[in-house]
Amino acid sequence: MASYHLRLAHLYGDLLNTYGDVGNITALKYYAQQMDTEIDVQVISIENDFDPDQFDLAFFGGGQDYEQMIVSQDIQTKKAAIEKFIDDEKPMLAICGGYQLLGHYYIGANGEKIQGIGVLDHYTLSQDNHRFIGDIEIKNELTGEIYHGFENHNGRTFIDESERPLGKVVSGNGNNGEDQTEGAIYKQTYCTYFHGPILTRNGQLAKRILLQALRKKYPTADFSKQEALEIKPTF
């Protein structure tokens, strides 16, 4: 049996799973095993209560506009709980639509304004008959880590000074194709447009997320072995 256990909330996992990004959960479980940790996953969906005190980390994927509009309405009832989870500095990974819905709003492909919950201070506009598609590479300027992935999004997201980008674009488009930012970090919440899924190609980011969750849940434990572990993706 594993020495440590984490509970992961998969927000709207039955509705938002474009491009197979649920693979990020599979990746987290795989890396967690290398770190002597077991992860239990629970889907939190429409009309389900979300108790932030019952979970140690969360994943929020993306979907098509129709599904995201449904989620946009329901997630308003979970705003306070998600805000508490984030303010408690528990790690969350939000991809594409999940990233957009944590912000104030995004403009859909048909020009409709879809409300987010505004727990993060960014907003997303749309493009006319155009998408950002292709391989992308960014550099996390705080850690020096290089992340590789694939982007496919119509949205153009603009982050606020309260957030810092996940990385600076080395090649590709990133958040909006203008300011060379990609994704956003606020406290321990990581947002990105990387599909692929991101954690299968960037094990160092998965390790960072897992260590944050472990330290939060087990504040007196010694994680020096986990910190020294060289994470080797096999996907």
Asked if residue 204 lies in contact with residue 210, where contact means CB atoms within 8 angstroms, the answer is no
Contact by Cβ (8 Å): 167, 140: yes
* Predicted pLDDT at 153: 93
Q: Look-up: residue for tokens 């005190």?
A: 53
pLDDT at 20: 77
Q: Where are the alpha helices (DSSP H) in the chain?
A: 23-34, 65-74, 79-87, 97-102, 198-201, 203-217, 224-228
175: its two tokens: 């958040």
Q: What does the pLDDT read at residue 187?
A: 97
Instruction: Tell whether residue 208 is among the known ligand binding residues.
Output: no
**Whole-angstrom Cα distance, residue 216 to residue 88?**
9
Q: Which residues of the chain have pLDDT under 70?
A: 232-235
Question: Facing residues of 182 across strands?
Answer: 167
Angle at 92 between CA 86 and CA 94, to 5 degrees: 115
- Homologous superfamily of the 4-228 domain (CATH): Class I glutamine amidotransferase (GATase) domain (3.40.50.880)
Secondary structure (3-state) at 218: coil
pLDDT at 233: 56
Q: How far apart are CA 72 and CA 27, in angstroms?
A: 27
Q: What is the pLDDT of residue 138?
A: 98
Q: Which residues are catalytic?
A: 96, 195
**Structure confidence at residue 29 (pLDDT):** 95
pLDDT at 232: 64
The confidence score (pLDDT) of residue 109 equals 76
